[in-house]
Amino acid sequence: DVPVVDIDPFSDAFLSDPYDAHRQMREAGPVVWIPAYGVYACARHESVHAVFNDHATYISGAGVGLANFNKEAPFRPKSLILEADPPSHTKARAVLARILSPKTVVQVRATFTDEAESLVDRLLARQAAGEVIDAVKDLSEVYPLKVFPDAVGVGEADRENLLLYGNMIFNAFGPRNERLQKSAELVQPVTAWIMAHCQRENLRPGGFGDLIYQAADAGEITHEEAPLLVRSFLSAGVDTTVNGIGNAILCLANHPEQYDSLCADHTLARPAFEEALRFESTVQTFFRTTSKDTALFGVQMPKDSKVMTFLAAANRDERQWPDPDRFDIQRRPAGHMAFGSGIHGCVGQVIARLEGELVLTALAKRVSRIELIGAPQRRLNNTLRALGSMPVRLIPA
Ligand code: HEM
Ligand SMILES: CC(C)Cc1ccc(C(=O)O)cc1
At 152-206, the pLDDT tens digits run 999 999 999 999 999 999 999 999 999 999 988 888 899 999 999 999 999 999 9
Q: What percent of the chain has pLDDT over 70?
A: 100
- Ligand 1 in reach of 209 Cβ (< 6 A): no
The finding on whether 237 has its CB within 6 A of some atom of ligand 1 is yes
pLDDT digits (tens, 9 = 90+) for 40-51: 999 999 999 999
Query: 145 pLDDT exceeds 90?
Result: yes
Nearest CA to ligand 1 atom 22: 346
- From CA 321, how far away is CA 88, in angstroms rounded? 36
SS3 for 45?
A: helix
> Over the stretch 97-119, which tens digit does the pLDDT of each residue have?
999 999 999 999 999 999 999 99
Residues in the chain, total: 397
Distance 235 CA to ligand 2 centre (A): 6
Q: Which residues pair with 387 in a beta bridge?
A: 378
Ligand 2 atom index nearest CA of 229: 10
Rounded-to-integer distance, Cα 188 and Cα 43, Å:
35
The predicted pLDDT at position 184 comes to 87
* 351 close to ligand 1 (CB < 6 Angstrom): yes
- Please check the confidence at residue 22 and state whether its pLDDT lies above 90: yes
Cα 271 from chain centre:
17
Query: Cis omega before residue 189 (within 30°)?
Result: no
User: Over the chain, what is the mean pLDDT?
Assistant: 97
The per-residue pLDDT for 187 is 84
Q: Please name which of 269, 282, 249 lies closest in space to residue 330, comparing C-alpha atoms.
A: 269
Which ligand 2 atom is at minimum distance from the Cα of 82?
10
* Test site for ligand 1: of 48, 197, 240, most ligand atoms within 8 A of the Cβ: 240
Q: Which protein residue has the closest C-alpha to ligand 2 atom 9?
A: 232
Average pLDDT over residues 367-392: 97
Confidence of residue 364 (pLDDT cuts 50, 70, 90): very high
Please tell me the predicted confidence (pLDDT) of residue 147: 98
Question: Cα of 231 to ligand 2 centre, how many Å?
Answer: 9
* Confidence check: pLDDT of 288 > 90: yes
Answer whether 236 contacts ligand 1 (Cβ < 6 A). yes
Write out the E strands in the chain.
Answer: 32-34, 39-42, 58-59, 133-134, 285-290, 294-296, 299-301, 306-310, 367-372, 377-378, 387-389, 391-396
The pLDDT of residue 298: 97
Can you give the pLDDT at residue 162? 97
Give the pLDDT confidence score for residue 74 in this predicted structure: 94
Question: Would you state the pLDDT for residue 144?
Answer: 98
Pair 289, 305: CB distance under 8 Å: yes
Measured from the CB, is residue 232 less than 6 Å from ligand 2?
yes
Q: In this predicted complex, what is the ipTM?
A: 0.98
CA of 19 to the centre of ligand 2 (A): 24
| pLDDT recorded at residue 280 | 97
Q: How confident is the model at residue 351 (pLDDT cuts 50, 70, 90)?
A: very high
Check pocket membership of 151 for ligand 1, CB cut-off 6 A.
Answer: no
pLDDT band at 1 (very low <50, low <70, confident <90, very high): confident
Taking a C-beta distance cutoff of 8 angstroms, is the pair 44, 35 a contact?
no
132 CB contacts (<8 Å, ≥6 apart)? 373, 391
Which of the ligands is closest to the CA of residue 338? 1
Mutate to test the pocket of ligand 2, among 60, 69, 82 (most ligand atoms within 8 A of CB): 82
Where residue 295 falls among pLDDT bands split at 50, 70, 90?
very high
Nearest atom of ligand 2 to the alpha carbon of 286:
3
How confident is the model over 60-97, as pLDDT tens digits?
Answer: 999 999 999 999 999 999 999 999 999 999 999 999 99
**Does residue 62's CB lie within 6 angstroms of at least one atom of ligand 1?**
no
Question: Closest by alpha carbon to 280, among 337, 318, 233, 319?
Answer: 337
Average pLDDT rounded to a whole number, residues 197-226: 98
Distance 13 CA to ligand 1 centre (A): 26
Measuring from atom 13 of ligand 2, which residue has the nearest CA? Answer: 236
Ligand 1 close to Cβ of residue 287 (< 6 A): no
Is the CB of residue 283 below 6 angstroms from any atom belonging to ligand 2?
Answer: yes
Confidence of residue 337 (pLDDT cuts 50, 70, 90): very high
Nearest ligand (C-alpha, residue 229): 2
Q: Is the CB of 235 under 6 A from ligand 2?
A: yes
